[in-house]
Amino acid sequence: MQPSDSLLRADAPQVRETAALEVAPTPLLAKIAEAERERRVIEQAARVKRQADIDEAGGIEKWLHAQLVAAGLAVTEDPATLTDAQKKSYKERKKAEASEKRRLRKLAWQAYHATHINHLGSAVFYNDLVDIDKFDIERREDRAKDLGLPDWTTPTKLASALGLSISRLRWLAFHKDVDTGSHYIRFTIPKRDGSARQITAPKTDLKRVQRHLLDNLLDRLTVHSAAHGFIAKKSIQTNALVHAGADVVVKVDIKDFFPTITLPRVKGLLRKSGLPEQVATLVALLCTESPRDVVDFRGQTLYVATGARALPQGSPASPMITNALCVRLDKRMAGLGRKLGCTYTRYADDLTFSFKKKDASSTAPIGSLLHGVRVVLQGEGFELNAKKTTVMGGGARQVVTGLIINKRPKATASSPSTSATRVPREVVRTLRAALHNRAKGKIKEGESLAHLRGLAAFVFQSDPVKGRAFLVEIDALEAAATN
């Protein structure tokens, strides 16, 4: 993934799912909707209270008996001791008791369903019973405490932390191979090579949940120092700076990076980090999704899963999960680099190695490096994307995460920056031309000021003077557009 792709994604035109046109609610409809929300809140509270009563009574059967006794519907007589006349009355009372039992069992099930996850869909293992199994790491609680993870020991605590009811939590996490709706918006954006990149972005409710998970859980997981993507105080520039001035740079790409990180791998990471079984299952489901085809069947739109649940490219939670899951990969790659005399960094699925020659006669062991990289990737459950492997010598243009890292002899009037990294000239020229055309009222289709601001910020990282000038120009254009 190149930085320019990231900038494009931030403001790319989104091809959204087909949906009914939204109609502005009238005051009457708004009142009806508010009344419905209040009804659901009251109903949910009643069900939670009923489950508490059931637990206090010692289980459903004891609660049922108590309710029948209180209603005067419990039948305790032995029919063998009754006369024929009494048996007729007995049968009527048994019918009334059975009818009330069915009603009460329905209420008890609704109460259980409102306070327990119970089931999360096909092919998803879940059990409401809290237990320790063979997949629990030793001293799990200590591990979670050492990482500073939140005290999410039960689904109830997780739901409360996320501001959700149990029913809502189950709805967001539930997996269906064929569904009538989706929690994601799917669209494509162009890659640098002209092909399409599939983006799967969560809708508002799920995005809020994923951001909360990122801020309060995922950001606390262990990552390797070689990782530079989506980490505080690190960026495409810190990644590129590590390799600035190198004699030889080797770039390697992981094939199908996000789709390779499936639900079981995410759940395993969370369990090893100290989360209990049920919470790890729920969080893993909240952060993964299956690739889906949208199918029209008998007038109904269906979303049909075509593969396993994996990290969606477009979720705010996905990048940090990849960083935490790739700790062992990064350790092994860094070790390989030390053995061969090169430096290693990773930005998402882009792996970079750089060599600095000790003398003019020394050569970089490229063959040994690529063989080792392939072995490590396979051992960690990934695959090398051979088509994107690039070897760049000092005499050629060296680009790492979108920035040029070749040695610059000295500053010039046109390029006063002496930074070890710099934005390619074509990016600067494209931005300058776009701003010039906008000033003359010529706006390219699909282009927005937000996208241009992203490009300007990209330039600012390595050339603050030039980048700031672009940002000032964009501010002026925005001000003119609002007047």
Map the chain to HEC letters.
CCHHHHHHHHHCCCCCCCCCCCCCCCHHHHHHHHHHHHHHHHHHHHHHHHHHHHHHHCCHHHHHHHHHHHCCCCCCCCHHHCCHHHHHHHHHHHHHHHHHHHHHHHHHHHHHHHHCCCCCECCCCCCCCCCCCCCCCCCHHHHHHHHCCCCCCCHHHHHHHHCCCHHHHHHHHCECCEECCCCEEEEEEECCCCCEEEEEEECHHHHHHHHHHHHHCHHHCCCCCCECCCCCCCCHHHHHHCCCCCCEEEEEEECCHHHHCEHHHHHHHHHHCCCCHHHHHHHHHHCCECCEEEEEECCEEEEEECCCCECCCCCCCHHHHHHHHCHHHHHHHHHHHHHHCCEEEEECCEEEEEECCCCCCCCCCHHHHHHHHHHHHHHCCCCECHHHCEEEECCCCCEECCEECCCCCCCCCCCCCCCCCECCHHHHHHHHHHHHHHHCCCCCCCCCHHHHHHHHHHHHHHCHHHHHHHHHHHHHHHHHHHC
Joined tokens for residue 78: 């032995």
pLDDT < 50 regions, the chain: 1-22
Q: Which residue is it, tokens 């209420």?
A: 107
Joined tokens for residue 69: 């006794």
Q: Which residue is it, tokens 């669209």?
A: 187
pLDDT at 18: 37
pLDDT at 217: 98
pLDDT at 133: 64
361 CB-near residues (< 8 Å, 6+ apart): none
193 CB-near residues (< 8 Å, 6+ apart): none
94 CB-near residues (< 8 Å, 6+ apart): 75
pLDDT at 411: 54
436 CB-near residues (< 8 Å, 6+ apart): none
pLDDT at 22: 44
46: which strand partners?
none
Between the alpha carbon of residue 222 and those of residues 149, 218, 469, the distances in Å are: 11, 9, 38
Q: Identify which of 25, 1, 40, 123 has the alpha carbon closest to the alpha carbon of residue 401.
A: 1
Q: In degrees rounded to 5, what are phi and psi of residue 367? A: -60, -45
Tell me the CA end-to-end span of the chain in Å, nearest whole number. 38
| Exposed / middle / buried, residue 219 (Cβ in 10 Å: 0-12, 13-18, 19+) | middle
pLDDT at 208: 98
Q: Identify which of 102, 73, 75 has the alpha carbon closest to the alpha carbon of residue 90.
A: 75
Joined tokens for residue 31: 């009142």
Q: In degrees rounded to 5, what are phi and psi of residue 263? A: -50, -50
141: which strand partners?
none
Max CA distance (Å), the chain: 114
Joined tokens for residue 213: 């998970």
Q: Identify which of 93, 132, 106, 127 has the alpha carbon closest to the alpha carbon of residue 47.
A: 106
262: which strand partners?
310
190: which strand partners?
196
| Exposed / middle / buried, residue 202 (Cβ in 10 Å: 0-12, 13-18, 19+) | buried
Cβ neighbours, 10 Å, residue 141: 12
pLDDT at 415: 52
Between the alpha carbon of residue 200 and those of residues 14, 95, 258, 350, the distances in Å are: 11, 54, 11, 20
